[in-house]
Amino acid sequence: MRKAKQASTVLAGLALCFLALAVKAQEPEKLTLKSAVALALQNSRELALARVQYTVAQNVARVDRAEFRPNLYTGSGAAYSNGFPQTPGGAAPAVFEMSYTQAVFNPPLKGQLKAAEDRAENQRLELERTRDAVIVRAATEYLELAKVRHALELLRRERVSGQKILEVTRERAAAGLELPIELTRGELNLARTEQRIIRFESRDQILTEQLRDLTGIPPDKPLEVSPEDLPEGPEQPAGELIDMALSNSPVIKEAENERSARQHILKGERGGYWPTIDLIGEYSVLSKINNYDQFFKKFQRNNVNAGIQVRIPIFSARTSANVALASSQLTAAELDLGTKRRDLRIDVQQKIRGVRELDAAREVARLELKLAQETLTEVQAKFDENRASLRDLEQARLDESEKWVAFLDANFAKQQAQLGLLQTTGQLARVFH
């Protein structure tokens, strides 16, 4: 009996644990705007790929840098000699050999190394661009999902008001107090509302799945969002925003790094007219089986060679061609940089104007909503005093709901424009730190 009671207690405890886990799994995941962005940055596959590509670019630069660092090789082999002992490379056949090489002065190779380092920095900037793109995407989807869900609540209330208006219209039409066209108009308005609800429900499902994919929230967990506003910073003049964009834009920095890379390559190719200097060393163990004692007066098994190898170019058509190519590529990089700076100035000015226009549109929508709310309050008071009909009251509620949806659309459009301007001027880190 005691064991049975203990077993039943354990089973009851396990049942309670499973129940608690099940309840917890059904609890909605309450997201804020900043937490959604943080989860998106943590789970982004694009960001992970950008980090790997940055590592690849760094390793490419390391490969070029390795030529200026010690390189030691060893090996062994066997060769049959009939005549003068010589390998296909011109060296003497050796039972064992070890060689050492290190570039000391090689301007073309040095230019390639500096260019690779600049391009690795470009890959780091590309990582920042990807990070900003993930932030904008996560913030946009979060804000739109919050807007869509709020609009759905309003449209469902609008559907209720439309149904009430249609019922009143049917009664009045049956009593001969309304024309049949009014009944058709009411049915059309209700059908339009139903159509918008279906469209918003589809958009809700799409945005929910996209936000789950970005944040890594499992599909079996309800997702809860709430409307938020982007933090408003101090108003900045257009000139200051343009300067911030020029100094923070990864696009401009990448173009500047590409120009720097082309400069390094041109400088290196011009240095190709100068001698190159390498440190070299070689140790080899020879064997009499290759007939060394027949071709040399003295045979020595262990041999060491060390010193400096200097290559002096006398005439090299390839060097002059490389210089001409590098010079033309540098000119193209400078023109590209100038074009991107001009385009960025124009883009920032357009975004500033767009934010101001959408801010004005949002203010108009806010005042229209306020007027509709005040009108609804007035009609409600008249209805309570039997000076307005139910149809008038429901129509006022319908108008107020329409203005709410319009305000949500205007507010979201302004938020999208704000995010675009913040991304262009490099201020996203300030907002989502």
Per-domain boundaries in the chain:
29-69+106-274+313-426, 70-105+277-312
Is residue 208 within 8 A of residue 221, CB to CB? The reply is no
Instruction: Tell me the residue ranges of DSSP E strands in 48-95.
Output: 71-76
Q: What is the CA radius of gyration of the chain?
A: 38
pLDDT exceeds 50 at position 164: yes
Examine the pLDDT at 13 and tell me if it is beyond 70. no
At residue 327 the predicted structure's pLDDT band, cuts being 50, 70 and 90, is very high
Question: Encoding tokens for residue 110?
Answer: 């040095």
Give residue 27's pLDDT band: very low, low, confident or very high (50, 70, 90).
Answer: low
Q: Give mean pLDDT, residues 403-407.
A: 94
Q: What is the mean pLDDT of the chain?
A: 86
H or E segment to which residue 280 belongs: strand 276-285
pLDDT for the residue 199 = 95
Report the C-alpha gap between 67 and 102 in whole angstroms: 6
Higher pLDDT, 284 or 77: 284
Q: What's this model's pTM, rounded to 2 decimal places?
A: 0.81
User: What value does the mean pLDDT take over residues 70-94?
Assistant: 73
SS3 189: helix
Neighbour count for residue 20 (Cβ, 10 Å): 10
29-69+106-274+313-426 CATH fold: Outer membrane efflux proteins (OEP) (1.20.1600)
Structure tokens at 69: 């660092």
What was the pLDDT predicted at 21? 43
How confident is the model over 9-25, as a mean pLDDT?
48
